[in-house]
Amino acid sequence: MTVLLTGFAPFDGAAANPSWQAASLAAVRRTDTVAVELPCEFDASLPALRAAILAHRPAVVVCAGLAGGREHVTPERVAINLIDARIPDNAGAQPVDVPVVEGGPSAYFTTLPVKAAVAAIESAGLPAAVSYTAGTYVCNQVFYGLMHLIATEFPGLRGGFVHVPEEARMPLDSIARALDIVADTALTVHEDVATSAGTLH
């Protein structure tokens, strides 16, 4: 079964984006995984993601994005149907108070076993936590868009989103290892653990 890992291009003047660096590093280490870089652009990100799903026909999609200021790897549990951009994207667009999908549900929950993934990441000695807010920027747009694609076009596909820290807060190799663990957990665990977990950032 193929795993599709995605990360974002650098944005907001940065030279690199650890979400893409870690996703590509994790994919190199796995024989069942492909990595695709998504543009940090509202108009282009979801078409690129859909094209990658069509091209690779994965069983699992794990999208990753940078969450500046977070200390943990944070698998996201819920995506909301809202874009409210605090800064322009790489194409200069800055939509405010608009839906990701007009007429779509207010929210989608991940279909990845995020609690089990967090437990596995912590067992590997890395900091992790379930998150209940993916923000309202391109990360949340891609997360919501992925789940909408699963609901409307790709039934049976499992997917979700993981926010990763800046490289200054966690080594790139550790971030890649965490994404690797999320992928392994998604492939092997089909019912999440029944335990309380989660944080608001």
- Number of domains the chain is built from: 1
Catalytic member of 37, 41, 63, 139: 139
Nearest residue to 79 via CA among 144, 145, 6? 144
SS3 157: coil
Q: Does the reported pTM lie above 0.75?
A: yes
141-151: pLDDT as tens digits: 999 999 999 99
Q: What is the pLDDT of residue 198?
A: 55
Judge whether 71 counts as a catalytic residue.
Answer: no
Helix (H) or strand (E) holding 178: helix 172-188
Domain that holds residue 108: 3-188
CATH code: domain of residue 108: 3.40.630.20
- Does 193 map to a domain? no
Judge whether 40 counts as a catalytic residue.
Answer: no
* CB-based contact 80:107 (threshold 8 Å): yes
Q: Give the residue carrying structure tokens 């990100």.
A: 45
pLDDT at 201 over 70: no
- Does 197 map to a domain? no
